[in-house]
Structure 1
Amino acid sequence: MRTNIDIDDELMSVALRLTGLKTKKETVELALKTLISLKQQERIKKFRGKLKWEGNLDDMRLSN
């Protein structure tokens, strides 16, 4: 998908320098992938302490 966006030059410069990536496209794609991953982790963390565990980890480990 082709999209035109206005990105702060300083932010882009810092991102390029820190990541070592060569292009703005690579940098934006990495940023989007990172954002998606972080948001998915946030959603998963909301389940902490709310799911009931059934099973025996020792048995599961030995069954392989």
Structure 2
Amino acid sequence: MITNFKVDENLLKEALALCDHSTADLVIEAALREYIQRRKQLKLLELFGTIDYEENYDYKQQRQIR
């Protein structure tokens, strides 16, 4: 896919200096992958504390079953 958009040159230069990618296209692709991965992680973090366990839940017993 060919896409034209403006990117802050200073940001792009800094990103190129920090990574092993040789082209701006590769840097942008890597940045998008990292962004998506981070957003997915944040969604998972929102789930913590939302699962209710029974009062007599015995996690040690569940570990022995495996």
Report how far residue 19 of structure 1 moved.
0.8
What is the match of residue 58 of structure 1?
Answer: 63
What is the match of residue 43 of structure 1?
Answer: 43
State the AA in 2 paired with 1:35. Y
How far apart are the structure 1 equivalents of 2:40 and 2:23? 26
State the AA in 2 paired with 1:27. V
State the AA in 2 paired with 1:24. A
Q: Does residue 18 of structure 1 match 2:18?
A: yes
Let me know the Cα RMSD of the aligned residues: 1.8
Give me the TM-score of the superposition, normalised by structure 1.
0.81
How many percent identity over aligned positions? Answer: 25
What is the match of residue 8 of structure 1?
Answer: 8
How far apart are the structure 2 equivalents of 1:11 and 1:35? 15
Distance 1:55 1:41, change over 3 A: farther
Structure 1: where are the runs of 5+ without partners? none
Give me the TM-score of the superposition, normalised by structure 2.
0.79
Structure 2: where are the runs of 5+ without partners? none
